[in-house]
């Protein structure tokens, strides 16, 4: 051993006096860079549990899990992302793709613990020291992985629309549909909101993958009116679309239409499901609207014989007689109905129950009855002078036009109401060359009509007067004077529509060639015999039904507008589907009893 070998270890003592190389208090002495991709943060109130972060994570480091205190709603899956830091590589793709911008990262990077389980955690749900740290990675302004802009739908210009009933919306091209479908993040939040629970991500995926027939078959699993709903569905699914939180929601309705438009009706047989083996039971359906025909379709698929009784000369109910052709062309509605008919569903048109055929006879002759007769009777304004010949209901104008009659409206028309019927009547009158004024009791923001209907009505030159309460109609020879008063809005508390209160000192009189009430519709239910109606259960002129449309009378089921407060086609379709399952359970249960 040399002397050097003995002395050299002692040289290390030299370092004692030098500045240390390690960081003694790294969090305070060496913080992460301001945009460092450190530990995750999640704003639990903004997060909707769409799971897009989970889908994009390349390391499978995110699981969507239920969290105490977070409820499942129509707009929120109730799940939240749980991070596994044994897998995470802090790439921040989850933050970049987050649909609501709830996810971000702190710039903290030191977390010491002896328990490995703690490194799997739900950000935002479990309190962490970095929760209020403002520094860290956030998506740069304007940088998005998602395409936030909707493919524009080609439409006729307002001046082209007037003067004809040509369909206004022209539909996506294949390229546009694919572009729009590519925007979908496949989260499925929309499915819960759709009354029919259609597999929306599934059929959108079919467009991306070029499998149109697969998409159509998927739609028919829950909705036998794809061509119609692809045009006039109230598309509440779009209201909750996760992409819509920071951009334009997916054009789900238009994508549905795109699929339906690609397949010829005669090709449907090969695409959609066919009827199962024949069953001996025969079910009667009263009303060939969306609810009745939906029930008929699903009952037929189960193998039941189905006969539909319809009072009018054509099927479709309000889809035909309440929606003008420029929104839903009749050939598209017929395409849906024809396919249902082609499966062997018998439809007896011009058969008004209790006029042409007693309800009792149907009740006795069939194994089960489903009725979905809608709300065809318009309510009147209820004001003095309303029996004037120049007062014509909105529904009757729409029915006339459907039947090919041109109603004589004159030049100036007042439409009273703010719902879709009012908008459709107003826009129909514009197409017939009238100057149209819509008068509504509340504010524009309170109007129940779809916003697009209001916007399009304005584009087409309809004038709006809001906070206008109808008071009476006066005779002016071939014209009628509409007397209305200005309304003061009285707040009714949170979640309630304000109440319009008449200001008697602010009255107006305007003269019109025609006054068109379109304030609401009801039904008399007079076709149901008294002995049966007592059993069925009627509350405030509505049929009381269970989850599967069952009434108080086991053999009778009901659905659609006469039972469902959500008065739209897709809700009626869903009711029809559920009732078909209910009727199946009832008939099969009866068999077992026997």
Name the site residues for another protein (rule: CB under 8 A).
Answer: 377, 379-380, 382-384, 386, 416-422, 440-442, 448-449, 469-472, 485, 490, 499, 501-504, 518-520, 522, 524-526, 528, 530, 533-534, 536, 538-541
Closest separation between CB of residue 62 and another protein, Å?
Answer: 44
Interaxial angle between packed helices 252-262 and 174-182, expressed in degrees from 0 to 180 and rounded to the nearest 10: 140
* C-alpha of 437 from chain center: 29
- Is the CB of 106 or the CB of 533 nearer to another protein? 533
Closest separation between CB of residue 384 and another protein, Å?
Answer: 5
Q: Enumerate residues 6+ apart whose C-beta is below 8 A from 512.
A: 390, 410, 412, 413, 414, 437, 479, 480, 481, 482
- Is the CB of 409 or the CB of 425 nearer to another protein? 425
- Is the CB of 109 or the CB of 484 nearer to another protein? 484
Closest separation between CB of residue 538 and another protein, Å?
Answer: 5
- Is the CB of 31 or the CB of 522 nearer to another protein? 522
DSSP letters of 51-115?
-HHHHH-TT--EEEEE-TT---BTTB-SEEEEEETTT-----HHHHH-SSS-EEE-S------S-
- Is the CB of 320 or the CB of 442 nearer to another protein? 442
Cα–Cα–Cα angle for 189, 195, 196, rounded to 5 degrees: 95
Q: Enumerate residues 6+ apart whose C-beta is below 8 A from 126.
A: none
Sequence-separated contacts (24+) of 16-21 with Cβ below 8 Å: none
- Is the CB of 135 or the CB of 383 nearer to another protein? 383
**Residue 461: CB atoms within 10 Å:** 14
- Is the CB of 70 or the CB of 473 nearer to another protein? 473
Residues 321, 402: contact at Cβ < 8 Å?
yes
- Is the CB of 149 or the CB of 384 nearer to another protein? 384
Give the integer Cα–Cα distance in Å for 525 and 542.
9
**Six-digit token string for 26:** 């790294």
- Is the CB of 216 or the CB of 381 nearer to another protein? 381
Produce one character per residue of 157-192: b if its CB has 16 or more CB atoms within 10 Å, e if not: eeeebbeebebbbebbeeebbbbbbebbbebbbbbe
Closest separation between CB of residue 383 and another protein, Å?
Answer: 6
**Six-digit token string for 463:** 């004038």
Closest separation between CB of residue 334 and another protein, Å?
Answer: 28
Residues 195, 204: contact at Cβ < 8 Å?
no
The answer to whether the Cα torsion of 328, 334, 339, 340 is positive or negative is positive
**Six-digit token string for 419:** 């719902």
Closest separation between CB of residue 556 and another protein, Å?
Answer: 13
Give the integer Cα–Cα distance in Å for 348 and 369.
15
Q: Give all strands of the β-sheet with 468-476 in edge-to-edge order.
A: 468-476, 479-490, 499-512
- Is the CB of 315 or the CB of 485 nearer to another protein? 485
Give the integer Cα–Cα distance in Å for 224 and 292.
11
Three state DSSP letters for 229-292: HHHHCCCHHHHCCHHHHCCCCCCHHHHHHHHHHHCCHHHHHHHCCCCCCCCCCEEEEECCCHHH
Closest separation between CB of residue 382 and another protein, Å?
Answer: 4
- Is the CB of 208 or the CB of 544 nearer to another protein? 544
492 DSSP assignment: -
CA separation, residue 217 to residues 223, 256, 262, 362 (Å): 10, 12, 13, 33
397 DSSP assignment: H
Closest separation between CB of residue 458 and another protein, Å?
Answer: 18
- Is the CB of 227 or the CB of 449 nearer to another protein? 449
- Is the CB of 25 or the CB of 530 nearer to another protein? 530
- Is the CB of 115 or the CB of 526 nearer to another protein? 526
Q: What are phi and psi of 367, to 5 degrees?
A: -80, -25
User: What is the DSSP pairing of strand 62-66 with strand 282-286?
Assistant: unpaired
- Is the CB of 68 or the CB of 526 nearer to another protein? 526
Closest separation between CB of residue 433 and another protein, Å?
Answer: 25
Closest separation between CB of residue 502 and another protein, Å?
Answer: 4
User: Residue 475 forms beta bridges with which residues?
Assistant: 480
**Residue 57: CB atoms within 10 Å:** 21
């Amino acid at each position: 051993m040399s002397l050097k070998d003995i002395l050299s270890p002692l040289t290390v003592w030299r370092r004692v006096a030098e500045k240390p190389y390690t960081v003694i208090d790294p969090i305070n002495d060496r913080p992460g860079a301001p945009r460092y991709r450190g530990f995750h943060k999640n704003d639990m109130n903004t997060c909707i549990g769409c799971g897009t972060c989970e889908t994009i994570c390349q390391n499978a480091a995110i699981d969507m899990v239920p969290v105490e205190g977070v409820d499942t709603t129509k707009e929120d899956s109730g799940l939240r992302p749980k991070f596994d830091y044994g897998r995470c590589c802090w790439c921040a793709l989850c933050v970049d793709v987050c649909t609501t911008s709830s996810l971000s990262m702190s710039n903290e990077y030191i977390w010491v613990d002896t328990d490995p389980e703690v490194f799997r955690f739900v950000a935002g749900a479990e309190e962490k020291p970095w929760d209020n740290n403002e520094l860290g990675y956030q998506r740069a302004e304007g940088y998005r992985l998602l395409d936030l802009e909707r493919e524009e739908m080609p439409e006729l210009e307002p001046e082209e629309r007037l003067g004809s009933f040509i369909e206004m919306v022209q539909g996506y091209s294949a390229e546009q549909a694919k572009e729009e479908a590519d925007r979908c993040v496949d989260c499925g939040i929309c499915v819960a909101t759709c009354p029919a629970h259609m597999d929306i991500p599934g059929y959108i995926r079919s467009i991306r993958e070029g499998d149109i027939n697969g998409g159509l078959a998927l739609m028919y699993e829950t909705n036998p009116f794809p061509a119609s709903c692809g045009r006039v569905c109230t598309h509440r699914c779009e209201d909750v679309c996760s992409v819509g939180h920071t951009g334009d929601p997916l054009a789900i309705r238009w994508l549905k239409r795109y699929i339906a438009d690609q397949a010829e009706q005669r090709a449907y047989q090969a695409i959609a499901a066919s009827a199962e083996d024949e069953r001996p039971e025969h079910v009667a359906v009263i009303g060939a609207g969306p609810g009745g025909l939906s029930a008929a379709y699903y009952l037929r698929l189960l193998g039941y014989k189905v006969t539909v009784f319809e009072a009018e000369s054509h099927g479709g109910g309000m889809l035909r007689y309440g929606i003008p052709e420029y929104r839903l062309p009749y050939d598209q509605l017929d395409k849906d109905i024809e396919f249902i008919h082609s499966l062997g569903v018998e439809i007896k048109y011009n058969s008004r129950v209790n006029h042409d055929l007693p309800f009792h006879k149907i009740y006795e002759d069939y194994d089960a009855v489903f009725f979905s007769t809608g709300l065809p009777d318009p309510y009147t304004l209820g004001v003095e002078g309303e029996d004037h010949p120049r007062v014509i209901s909105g529904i009757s104008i729409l029915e006339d036009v459907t039947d090919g009659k041109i109603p004589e409206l004159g030049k100036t028309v007042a439409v009273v109401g703010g719902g879709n019927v009012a908008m459709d009547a107003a826009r129909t009158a514009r197409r017939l060359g009238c100057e149209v004024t819509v008068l509504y009791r509340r504010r524009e923001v309170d109007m129940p009509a779809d916003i697009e209907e209001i916007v399009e009505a304005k584009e087409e030159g309809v004038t709006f007067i809001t906070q206008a309460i109808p008071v009476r109609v006066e005779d002016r020879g071939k014209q009628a004077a509409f007397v209305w008063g200005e309304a003061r809005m009285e707040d009714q508390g949170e979640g309630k529509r304000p109440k319009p209160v008449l200001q008697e000192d602010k009255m107006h009189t305007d003269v019109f060639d025609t006054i068109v009430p379109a304030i609401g519709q009801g039904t008399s239910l007079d076709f149901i015999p008294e002995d049966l109606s007592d059993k069925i259960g009627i509350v405030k002129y509505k049929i009381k039904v269970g989850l599967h449309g069952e009434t108080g009378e086991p053999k009778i089921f009901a659905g659609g507008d006469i039972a469902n407060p959500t008065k739209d086609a897709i809700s009626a379709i869903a009711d029809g589907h559920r009732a078909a399952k209910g009727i199946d359970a009832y008939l099969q249960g009866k068999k077992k009893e026997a």
